[in-house]
Every structure is written in C-alpha cells, then in structure tokens.
Structure 1
Amino acid sequence: MCQRCEEPERPEEERYLIEVLDQIRENGWCVQGVLGTGSRPSWAYTAGLTAQGLPELVVTGLLPHHAARLLNAAAEQTLHTGPPVPGEQWLLPRLPKLEIVQLSAPAAHLHIAVCCYGAGIEARQLVYADSAGRFPWSPQYNSGRGGQPVLGVRHA
C-alpha cells in the first residue's frame, strides 16, 4: 500500500519526502527531476549522496530520462572514486564528456536534498559537452543555442 492510502491525513509533501527517504535507504540515493518552464530548462539532481559524505550531483538542460541515466552513472562512479573535483573532466561509458563545476548556491536548486540534509549541502554540476565536444562556455556550444545553464563558476 502507498503512503497516500496508509496516511491520507499526512500533507502531500511530507508523504513524498518519506517515499524519497525510503528510496535513498534502499538505493543509496534517488534522482529528482524539475521540469523546465518557458525559457528555463529542466534540471535534475541526486538526493542521498550527502549521507555518504559526498556532494550531491546536478545536471541541467536534459530530458528527465537522459538526466537520470547520467546522474545514476555519475553517482555510481562517485561512490567508487570519491567526490568529483571542480575542473576535472570525466569520461563515463556511453555518455558525453563531462566537466565538474562547484554549485554556487546548492540550496537554491536542490529542494528535496535540502529537506533531507539542510541548507548546508554541497553539490557539483555535471556539465556535458555537445556532440562536437564543446562545453557551454564556448560561444559555439550547441550551435549557439545554449540550453545548459551552468550553476556555478568554472574552475579553470
């Protein structure tokens, strides 16, 4: 039986948070997606890595299923190799080249992770290259169309 049926008087957000915490206990983390609106692209992030002493991971501008695939692969990698270092580039199987960027204000973008662990969470963005291998700080990225906001300052 689901939380909604078991405890109908409990507020919706609280029921959802309980489901998230259950998923984190079961899998080590979960992926949260936020749909874009108008000119604001979608983003997705992990919740649960903080409990393992690691920063949460974020990706912007991808469809939910692509974001989840990337974040799950990167979370697995992080568990094996340790936290991603800002400025580091990663090559994960069957994924675009990534560069790690420290988030400037994680609490502004990771609502569920903040609900679980507080506003002091740390997060790293997985900035991905386009099909030509260019990153968003290149004017030619995505043929000049953008679509991947960077939520921190690049560590050059």
Structure 2
Amino acid sequence: MGELFSVADLEAFIVQAKRHSYVGGAKRLLPYRLGSKDIQYVSGDWAYHDSYFGDSDFIGQELVYFQKSPVWAMNYFGYITKPDQIDAHTVGRMIKASLSNMYQEGRFLGAFEHVQDDLRYVDTNEGDVTFFQGKEFIYRRDEVVYELLYHGGLLKK
C-alpha cells in the first residue's frame, strides 16, 4: 500500500463510490472493452471504475485508483439460479435496494440481510478491505434464486 492513504480512507472512498455508481444509477461510460458496461466515480485523488459483462448472469471487476495508480480491486460473478422464479430486472432492483441500505451504514463488507416483499438478500464474507472473499444470495421463499461470488483486496507493487 504505502504511506499515501490509510485503509480507513480507502474503505470510506469505496463505500462512497459504490453508493454513487451502480446503486446510484450512474450514467455508463463508453465501453472500455467490446461489450462491457463501464461506470466511473471520481473524488479528489481517488477514482473508481466498475466494468462488467452480461445481464442476468454477469462478471465484472471494480478498481480503485489513488493518484492515478491502481491500489485495490474486486472481481465478481453473479448468476440467477432459478430463472423460472426470478428475472434480471427483479434481481437488479433487490440488489440496489439492499446495497443502498448497507452503504448507508458506511460499509460494504460484513454480514448483512435485507428483506423486501417475498425476497431476502443475504451477504456473507470473510476478511476486510485489504483481503476478502464472499457471497451474496437472494432467496425467494427460502430457496436461493440468485448468487454472486466475489473476492478482492489491496494491490501491492
């Protein structure tokens, strides 16, 4: 990492960026790669870039830059496990509502649960902002209908 920023500052920026990008309905950039969907958030010395592919089943990567150098990243893959019970639009709406509530708590890691109508969002993970892995699920009547795997942490030279 280095002495230029603290882990607490990094984590605060990540929460801020996540809140203002996908969850906040940020405008997409022109694709960086063929078929990608790209979103960016910049504040001072910090920049966040989320780039993903797909819709109902998707893969992506988030990168945080400090003074134009990459310092943190997260990879993710999400998929609908029961397409006969839920569609991509409903999953997206539930994820945005759930993550918005989590970010209001000033965090993006740690056990979290959110219930809305007949859906229950659950996030579980291990580690902290420096090194972590986890899963998020959406349940409909106690059956997993969506799952996302993610992992990431600090980038070191």
- Judge same fold: TM > 0.5, yes or no: no
TM-score, length-normalised on structure 1? 0.40
TM-score, length-normalised on structure 2? 0.39
> By percentage of residues, which structure has more helix?
1
